[in-house]
Amino acid sequence: MELGVTSADLISTMQFLGMLKYWKGKHLVLKKQDVLEEYLERVRKRGDQRQIDSSCLRWRPFHATPVTEQ
């Protein structure tokens, strides 16, 4: 089975968490320590011991192919 995370997924999640801002004509990614600590605390409380096997992760940038007119 293959799963994918799109850039739209990442943007939506970061907007929801308040980690994306537009300031002085630029998009900024904010490292919000309180959001990260809150998440880690929730994981600790539920005793979640799941681990990510990094050898199973594969990342390839998306390269759109140009559309040719016929």
pLDDT for 70: 61
Whether 28 contacts 21, CB under 8 Å? yes
Mean pLDDT computed over 52-68: 75
Whether 20 contacts 29, CB under 8 Å? yes
Residues 5-59: tens digit of each pLDDT: 788 888 888 888 888 888 899 888 888 888 889 888 988 888 867 777 888 887 7
pLDDT for 64: 67
Helix (H, G, I), strand (E, B) or coil at 22: strand
